[in-house]
Amino acid sequence: MAFKPSLKRKFVAEEAELNLLPILNMIVVLIPLLLTSAEWVKLGLLETRLPPQAAGGGGGMATEQEQPLPKLSLLVALDEGGTAVSIFGATSTTGEPGQYSYFPHTAAGEPDVAALNEELWRIRRDVVKPSVTGKEQATDASGNLRFNADGSPMMVDAYGFDDAETVIISAPNELPFQQLVKLLDASRRWKDPATSKIEKLFPTPLMGKVN
């Protein structure tokens, strides 16, 4: 008996296609909404270095060339009443005239950054600049020699102090960040009110705490 195929219609499954158009439309709408509602945080970068540790001494007699330079020991210390500025470790009861100054806070209770800026310029002008003995090749924080873009040595002033470009800033923990930024700015540069010329002060601030 011959096989007779069925006359019933065979069912053919159709492949369903996923409609991504509604999802893409939703993403297009959400992206601008998320960007406009996002909270952007502005970060400020301050170049500071920690106070260096005292190096352990080895044996032997140091030659005349190896004798360390004297330290300026410039310190800006804030307390609840004002700002003290000292050099050579001077205090309110010790040291020679001009080595210690104290500036009370302003009427708003903030550090007097204008008076601090003028005092740091006086120290730079009358104490640091006269100690320049010539030129020397600049070094980075690791002690490596620095060079210009053309390969020539980068020469800077050779000061008579080991820490001629350093200022130690001691501030209480509760000092607002914006006031700390103003102190750092006041310690780095001074602007001549007559000529608007910018003078470098102490570009390497060290954050520390005095015991």
Each domain of the chain, given as residue ranges in start order, spans 75-133+162-208
Helix, strand, or coil here: 193? coil
Apex 168 CA angle, 162 and 169, nearest 5? 165
pTM of structure: 0.64
Average pLDDT over residues 122-134: 88
* Residue 131: band (very low, low, confident or very high) from pLDDT cuts 50, 70, 90: confident
* Residue 31: band (very low, low, confident or very high) from pLDDT cuts 50, 70, 90: confident
Q: Which residue, among 106, 164, 155, 102, has the nearest Cα to 130 in the 3D structure?
A: 164
List Cβ neighbours of 49 (8 Å cut-off, separation of 6 or more).
141, 204, 206
Min mean pLDDT across 6-20, 57-71, 108-122, 148-162 is at 57-71
The percent of residues in the chain predicted with pLDDT above 90, rounded, is: 30
Helix, strand, or coil here: 163? coil
Mean pLDDT of all residues belonging to the chain: 81
| Maximum Cα–Cα distance across the chain | 130
Which residue in the block uniquely carries the two structure tokens 């960007």?
A: 35
Min mean pLDDT across 21-25, 46-50, 123-127 is at 46-50
The pLDDT assigned to 60 comes to: 47
CA distance 116 to 132: 23
Q: Which residue, among 44, 30, 202, 52, has the nearest Cα to 127 in the 3D structure?
A: 202
The pLDDT assigned to 95 comes to: 78
